[in-house]
Structure 1
Amino acid sequence: MPDSQPSALPPDLPASEDLLRVLLDISQSGVMLMRPVYDAAGTAVADFHLEHLNPAAQQMLRLPQRPAESFRTIYPTAEAAGVFAFYRDAFLSDQTARRENNYQHDGLDGYYLLVARRQGEVLVVSFTDTNDQPRTATEQALRASQVRELDARAEVEREREQLELLLHDAPAMICVFEGPEHVFGFVNPPYQALVGPRPLLGRAIAEAMPELAGQPIFDLLDNVYRTGETFRANEMLVQLDHDNEGRQELEKRYYNFIYQARHARTGAINGIFVFAYDVTPQVLARQQVQELNEELAAINEELRASNDEFLNANTALTHAQQELHLLNQELETRVSARTRELQQQQALLRQVLRQVPASIATLAGPEHRYSFFNEPYQQLTAQRPRLGRTVAETLPEVVAQGFVGRLDEVYLTGQPFEAKEALLELFDPGTGKTKPIYVDFVYQPLRDDDGQTTGILAFIVDSTAKVHARQAAEAAAQRLRLLTDALPVLISYIDVERRYRFMNHAYRAWFNQDPARLLGLPVREVVGEAAYANARGYIDRALAGERLAFEARMPYRKDFVRHIHTDYIPDEKNGEVRGFYALVTDITDQVEAREQVQELNEELAAINEEMLAANEELRDTNDRLSYTNVDLDTFVYTASHDLKAPIANIEGLLLALEEQLPEPVRQDADVTHLLGLMRGSVDRFQRTLVHLTDVSKLQQAHAEPAETVALLALVESVQLDLAPALAATHGQLVIDVAECPTVRFSPKNLRSIVYNLLSNAIKYHAPTRPPRVLLRATCPAGQVRLEVQDNGLGLSPAEQSKLFVMFRRLHTHVEGTGVGLYMVKRMVENAGGTIQVASTPGAGTIFTVLLPNRA
């Protein structure tokens, strides 16, 4: 469901903090409040503190309310399983995030549905564990898929560690920069030796090597990170404070190095890979040779200027030639050693590429001949590639699919090519058929020192599973459309321009048009001016982000007026309302029945006024009142009886609908929510009918005959019924009825009065203390006086005035219907008695009942 802003609390509800605490305590879903723990730099979320776990979360995770250890300490496998990254990203995105996760580590084994959203500096997480419920095929497949994912991640982690070990021992200087600030994420020993013990890891290069300011290094790194173009340097002068002595005149050294962009799986650049080696000796040797050549030229000039010094110059020339020969020999030795080092580094690079989990191949020349491929590439192509053969010879089926033509274009233009989720059909020699898969791939041109394209690097990732998952989600959306069309409720989506963007099939019956023809039309034009005027204020509030539930009379047409119950659910993203969902239920029959009852009540009030005004017409008025009450009870009974069959039919249709839905659709969160709303409406309607039936029986109970009742025995039987509630609350019931051992009253009505008063006293006890209830009975002349005193929540004067109203509930933290006290008052007054209440908020309540003790 889309995110929604919290609506204002009704004035008769408890304070929001108490309501939240009760909601957390009774919620069947686990709820965690998590506070982030940042790294040493204070910029990245490294862990979470578990600030609070509600009872459901404590039970499912077997943890206390506020564990002492951090999240990653309690669940060390959470990072590999992707759970920690889910929580971190949800906190940083400030959006509602959802995840289905099969977790079988760290003492847990469950299939969890996670929902997380940031609130201030706290991450709120709600989750349910379906471990005790039958698993669907989708859940079992996801469970197996996540096990394979964890194994794959473990394998990738082992390969990463091996790669770091190889790079650590490589003879070249290697490091990895992360992010646009070029923070050192990896440094091998030869690179660290450039600056001795100076710390590098975790620091930006500008901070770790400030002496590079004014040299071209920083600009080169920024350009590679921004463009992704590889930079190669040949004998570049770089000046560093190698000994960390703070010298103003820095040592001059020359390096050959490569800056190559590193890409995330999404293709975005997230760092730079650096491969460098020191060529200072070669450069200095060449400079010495150049100086010797300059000296030799000077000597030749002197020889031409003076024949007298010929012999001395010839001798000096001979010595210089000998020194030059020695220098050339030394240079050749160094170049040979350096060549061997480069060959070793190339072999190391090939070994690294073989272990990368993606499919990689290098293609030489315009014919695209294989010069290298790793094992994943071999597996992808059924072991068919051979070094020296062309792609067209090895994989002839890809020529017609355009992949070889794309290679030709990259080689000709020198521009890289990238594609996402491209369909690739590869021949499988084992089955003799082609197998379609989806791949993400990059063709990157390879260039020589002169910038000429000499080959192509192919980097391929299999995205088949991702494509299939998206296709399954689209199929689920189509099934959801079929479900909404099958429901009798009007379901629609209205955008910020107040136009319909979605309608289910139920709109056809109301507006006599195909819903598809109404899409894009304004609400005013579809429902009519009169109905739109009634709904406009609610639409304004929904588009402002408020979630609404309201009832309204809607005159759609002169011959079509409906009473509706409507839910408006805003659709928000990044704090912006894009529209809202509307669920409209026809309650015309219920409203008309309620209006008839109201009309009868108004008629009864008028009759009562006439009784007070004209005493001489009292008997006639009483007769009319009796007739009216009988008619009212008859109507209520008839209405409740006649409505049972339709609501039972609706309940049966709802059960049939649930059985017919495919299992994946039934498990969809939106479908489950809609079905829950419909079941709740049916349950509330059935309970209301039962209560209306009970109320209609009160008139019949008025004529119940009086009998001699043993009061103590009656109270003790009620006490047995209330024993579980007393035990659960550690309550105490004190009975003092010795003054009235027997009374003359209807046994059934007297038991109902005692039971309702005692059960309310226990039910609405104060949460900070166990209930203590006192029942006292006295018998003044011709009467029975019952007092029920408790130490519960108490009632304010305003609440006391609403206490005996039918269906009115003053406390919602426990179950109830608001009918019990109404019926008690009717039974007492029908018998000619009275009931009074005295209460103090926070201290308790006393109910006093006076009944005639009939002879």
Structure 2
Amino acid sequence: MLVGGALLALLFALLSSSLLVATFDNPLDVFFDLVPTGAALYAPVCDPGGEVVDFRFVRLNPAGQRLLGLPAQPPRTFREYYPHSVPTGIFALYCAAYRTGQVATYDVPYAGDGLDTFFRLVAQRCGDVLVVNFTDMADLPHSAVEAALRAAQAAEQLARAEIETQRQRLTEVLRQLPTQIATYHGPDHVYTFVNQRYQDYFPAQALLGRPGRQALPAAAAQGFFDLLDRVYQTGEPYHGVELPITLDFSASGRGQQLFINTLYHPLRNSQGEINGVLDFSYDVTEQVRARQQVQQLNQDLEVRVADATQAALALQADVLAAAQRQVQERETFYQVFTQTPAAISLKRGPEHRYVFVNTGYQALFPDRVFVGHTVAEALPETLQNGILSLLDKVYRTGEPYFGHEVPLPVPGPKGTRQAYYTFTSQAYREHGAIAGISTFAYEVTEQVLARQQREAHQNELQRIFEQAPVAIAVFRGPAHTIELANDLQLAIWDRTREQALGKGLFELLPEVVAQGFEQILTGVMATGQSYVGIEAPASFTRHGVREEIFVNFVHHPLREADGRISGVVAVITDTTEQVRARQLVEASQRQVQALNEELTATNQELLASNARLRRTNVDLDTFIYTASHDLKAPIANIEGLLALLRQQLPAETQRVGLVPRVLGMMQESVERFRLTIAQLTDLTRLQQVPTEPSQPVQLAAVIEAVRLDLAPLLEATDTQLTVTIGECETVQFAPQHLRSIVYNLLSNAVKYRHPDRVPQVQLRCRAAGQQVVLDVQDNGLGLSQPQQEQLFTLFQRLHAHVEGSGVGLYMVKRIVENAGGTLTVQSQEGVGSTFTVTFPA
């Protein structure tokens, strides 16, 4: 022993010393060859996981060559020459020495592989090689005690070799482990797993899903579940050795005593909290009975048996700990696979036999049985749809297969539905060879259908935009990049879609940079306020010629989900023809005014000028009437198309992106056009028919009819309306015109209310000689003096926050004055206004 250890130390020092190698002519070779005992250098052979599975001869000294009958560099590996090195424990010794770097000594008899002797082995790792010194002890004299000790050591090493063999095959042992394994969940120790060996002890009991004390009251009475309570509460494992337990295994009423070794170990969840206990136990009844008999032998044998038992228990504890770790790892993976929303399956062998499916996979085919069956048996339809062929290719080549949004008919309670899956099928290996295929699949049906629906909606929206009767464009970002433009908008710009989309507006149309549109767009994005342009002039280069047009437009901000403004939508109407016509009218009016000034010189010229002026006014009225009449049909068509669009678009589409904004803006534009046309029509009628026949009209009935029309507005604003008619029961006036006067004055009194107080409106009627005077007084916003001077001007609007066209008061004044009456106003800004109508006698 000392000689071998000293030689190994010297060999190790020489191998580690770069100084000696540099100083002498390879002294290691000289010493290695002169050592009188066998010496060998081995290099490890590892599997893909880095585990040492064999050793390769690097060099064998002459003494070793003589002892083993091998050359200096044997061509085969250590285990190929000496397969008996595994059961004798020699290979395990070498692995331990290489793994730990510690000196390992072993006296072992070796009978086999052409040898029959007793070796003393000393091994230690040096760098990447294992240095072994071995001595043939067969020819040396030995005392009887030493011989007995060697025999005991040989027996112990044989036991160690067997344990090492079991350790290397741990994975297979765990699958078919002849021990009782169970897992419990929660403080009531509900059974969540029992292996077959455990269940065999209780063939008449259903254990899974039941609390332990309820399932096995006899075990509970003997304190075993009290031990589980302590492990669960403290987190400290419990290791019981040869615990006696009496159980009625056959339900015959007669108990049987056994002895078990058990390990109770806490199980923890991903947060580190204890949520269960692992029960790893095995029956040692035979060993206990045998030991009880052996205890009657002599004291020396008893001591040796006790020592061997202790060593075996230590090794068994190591095996149990390793088993517990692997069970915990498998349980962790099982929980992850079970709870993941993906569909997961594991298939084994070239026939693709299911060994595991999680809940998500089973839910795809709830009426199918998978585990234990092949894919062809469980899913015969895979023979026709090609999936089985794909699995065969993955198993044969080892190359994974990735399927993206693959359509798959899935049976359900209401019949088969078309689903889409993205999945991966990948081979897994054992000991370097393909053992099976794992499949991970995610259902993406909702995403695929949603994308298809979005694409259909986008195409439909694009079609609608292209057919819209107004020009529409969408600009994004500070450069106002053109994202969308329909055909009418492209026609205004005289550009193709390819020329426009993706370019900045003012990059595409540099001629409009100085026309103020850039400032308008920038202002809309900065303030978030819409901008409305009426008959705005714009100059474009169209067909190579600079051309001025007039447009009505609305620029509206586009907001993202977080409220951030990212662009502007523009709705534009070309009003060039209308503006040109009105300009002609205005030019005619200017000419008439010039003629009037000239004709003041003589009565004759004045009469002629008046005649021309009347004709011009008739033409103007005719034009306004014609224009308003001709616009009704297009507006009705637009409104019909808009209503049809709302009916055809699904409700969810009307809430997507720009759709609700654009539809709302289009509806508002239609309503404004309708209101303006209606008021222009009324205005034309007033001019064509200056006065309608007057008749006695019940004023109270007219006021009540108007109040009913305005009831929603009055209730919504909590307006307090006070009516005092007095002696004015009837008014001599055209009924329709009287109603228009009352309606306009009352509605304006409510619409222009002050935001800080409850609206109060008083309508009073009184007689003033032969005339009837009607007052409408409010406590609203009131008017400044400059506002009062502009109040009755056509199309004049003094408060932008209230909808209107600026025609109402102009019409009221025309009606009253055409009938020979007057309309005046008294107002104070911030206090309120009083409108006074004087009807003729």
1:805 aligns with 2:793: yes
Residues in 2 aligned to 1:318 and 1:545: alpha-carbon distance in whole angstroms: 100
Classify 1:571/1:443 alpha carbon distance in 2 versus 1 (closer, same or farther; 3 Å). Answer: farther
Classify 1:575/1:595 alpha carbon distance in 2 versus 1 (closer, same or farther; 3 Å). Answer: same
Q: Find the counterpart in structure 2 of residue 555 from structure 1.
A: 539
Q: Find the counterpart in structure 1 of residue 286 from structure 2.
A: none
1:327 aligns with 2:310: yes
Residues in 2 aligned to 1:475 and 1:258: alpha-carbon distance in whole angstroms: 53
Specify the SS of the correspondent of 2:553: strand
Q: Find the counterpart in structure 2 of residue 587 from structure 1.
A: 575
Shift of residue 691 of structure 1? 0.6
Cα RMSD (Å): 5.8
Shift of residue 613 of structure 1? 11
Residues in 1 aligned to 2:526 and 2:742: alpha-carbon distance in whole angstroms: 50
Classify 1:808/1:407 alpha carbon distance in 2 versus 1 (closer, same or farther; 3 Å). Answer: farther
Pairs within 5 Å for 1:304-343: 321-328=304-311, 330-331=313-314
Shift of residue 692 of structure 1? 0.9
Classify 1:464/1:586 alpha carbon distance in 2 versus 1 (closer, same or farther; 3 Å). Answer: same
Residues in 2 aligned to 1:428 and 1:548: alpha-carbon distance in whole angstroms: 56
Please give the per-residue CA displacement for 1:316-361, whole angstroms capped at 9, x wherever unaligned: 9978645423524654775787799779869977985567664322
Q: Find the counterpart in structure 1 of residue 686 from structure 2.
A: 698
> Which one of the candidate residues 431, 438, 452 is aligned to 2:421?
438
1:362 aligns with 2:343: no
Residues in 2 aligned to 1:744 and 1:422: alpha-carbon distance in whole angstroms: 80
Pairs within 5 Å for 1:84-163: none
Q: Find the counterpart in structure 2 of residue 515 from structure 1.
A: 497
Specify the SS of the correspondent of 2:722: strand
Specify the SS of the correspondent of 2:698: helix
Residues in 2 aligned to 1:618 and 1:484: alpha-carbon distance in whole angstroms: 56
Residues in 1 aligned to 2:495 and 2:440: alpha-carbon distance in whole angstroms: 54
Q: Work out whether residues 423 and 437 of structure 1, in 8 Å CA contact, stay in contact via their aligned partners in 2.
A: yes
Please give the per-residue CA displacement for 1:289-315, whole angstroms capped at 9, x wherever unaligned: xxxxxxxxxxxxxxxxxxxxxxxxxx9
Specify the SS of the correspondent of 1:584: strand
Please give the per-residue CA displacement for 1:782-837, whole angstroms capped at 9, x wherever unaligned: 75544333444544445434432334445677775543321222234445554332
Stretches of structure 2 that go unaligned for 5 or more consecutive residues are 1-182, 193-228, 238-262, 282-297
Q: Find the counterpart in structure 2 of residue 372 from structure 1.
A: 356
Pairs within 5 Å for 1:168-567: 169=189, 193-194=234-235, 321-328=304-311, 330-331=313-314, 358-364=342-348, 370-374=354-358, 376-378=360-362, 380=364, 383=368, 385-387=370-372, 402=390, 405=393, 421-423=404-406, 437-441=420-424, 457-494=438-475, 496=477, 500-506=482-488, 509-510=491-492, 515-516=497-498, 518-520=500-502, 523-524=505-506, 526-527=508-509, 529-530=511-512, 533=515, 535-541=517-523, 546=528, 548-551=531-534, 552-556=536-540, 557=542, 558=545, 561-567=548-554
Specify the SS of the correspondent of 1:804: coil
Q: Work out whether residues 168 and 189 of structure 1, in 8 Å CA contact, stay in contact via their aligned partners in 2.
A: no
Residues in 2 aligned to 1:822 and 1:808: alpha-carbon distance in whole angstroms: 9
Shift of residue 167 of structure 1? 10
Please give the per-residue CA displacement for 1:609-662, whole angstroms capped at 9, x wherever unaligned: 779999998777666654544443333223223333443444455556667778
1:771 aligns with 2:760: yes
TM-score, scaled relative to structure 2: 0.52
Residues in 1 aligned to 2:752 and 2:527: alpha-carbon distance in whole angstroms: 36
Q: Work out whether residues 399 and 405 of structure 1, in 8 Å CA contact, stay in contact via their aligned partners in 2.
A: no
Q: Find the counterpart in structure 1 of residue 722 from structure 2.
A: 733
Letter in 2 for 1:477: Q
Classify 1:555/1:745 alpha carbon distance in 2 versus 1 (closer, same or farther; 3 Å). Answer: same
> Which one of the candidate residues 816, 820, 824 is aligned to 2:808?
820
Shift of residue 689 of structure 1? 1.5
Q: Find the counterpart in structure 2 of residue 683 from structure 1.
A: 671
Residues in 1 aligned to 2:821 and 2:418: alpha-carbon distance in whole angstroms: 87
Letter in 2 for 1:845: S
Classify 1:770/1:516 alpha carbon distance in 2 versus 1 (closer, same or farther; 3 Å). Answer: closer
Pairs within 5 Å for 1:732-751: 732-738=721-727, 749=737
Please give the per-residue CA displacement for 1:260-282, whole angstroms capped at 9, x wherever unaligned: 9x8xxxxxxxx99999989999x
- The structure with the largest alpha-carbon Rg is 2
Shift of residue 694 of structure 1? 1.3
Please give the per-residue CA displacement for 1:374-429, whole angstroms capped at 9, x wherever unaligned: 454356478474538589998566567755555677x79xxxx7968442668999
Residues in 2 aligned to 1:455 and 1:488: alpha-carbon distance in whole angstroms: 64
Letter in 2 for 1:529: E
Specify the SS of the correspondent of 1:589: helix
Please give the per-residue CA displacement for 1:745-775, whole angstroms capped at 9, x wherever unaligned: 6676556545543454466556744635141
TM-score, scaled relative to structure 1: 0.52
Residues in 1 aligned to 2:588 and 2:737: alpha-carbon distance in whole angstroms: 26
Residues in 2 aligned to 1:659 and 1:673: alpha-carbon distance in whole angstroms: 16
Classify 1:582/1:769 alpha carbon distance in 2 versus 1 (closer, same or farther; 3 Å). Answer: closer
Length, aligned pairs only: 564
Residues in 1 aligned to 2:391 and 2:187: alpha-carbon distance in whole angstroms: 34
Classify 1:364/1:504 alpha carbon distance in 2 versus 1 (closer, same or farther; 3 Å). Answer: same
Q: Find the counterpart in structure 2 of residue 98 from structure 1.
A: none
Stretches of structure 1 that go unaligned for 5 or more consecutive residues are 1-162, 173-187, 197-253, 263-270, 282-314
Q: Find the counterpart in structure 1 of residue 130 from structure 2.
A: none
Which region of structure 1 is more displaced relative to structure 2, 480-489 or 798-807?
798-807
Residues in 2 aligned to 1:460 and 1:529: alpha-carbon distance in whole angstroms: 57
Letter in 2 for 1:565: N
Q: Work out whether residues 761 and 776 of structure 2, in 8 Å CA contact, stay in contact via their aligned partners in 1.
A: no
Classify 1:385/1:798 alpha carbon distance in 2 versus 1 (closer, same or farther; 3 Å). Answer: same
Percent of residue pairs identical = 33
Classify 1:529/1:462 alpha carbon distance in 2 versus 1 (closer, same or farther; 3 Å). Answer: same
Classify 1:166/1:590 alpha carbon distance in 2 versus 1 (closer, same or farther; 3 Å). Answer: farther
Shift of residue 599 of structure 1? 4.0
Classify 1:193/1:733 alpha carbon distance in 2 versus 1 (closer, same or farther; 3 Å). Answer: same
Classify 1:850/1:602 alpha carbon distance in 2 versus 1 (closer, same or farther; 3 Å). Answer: farther
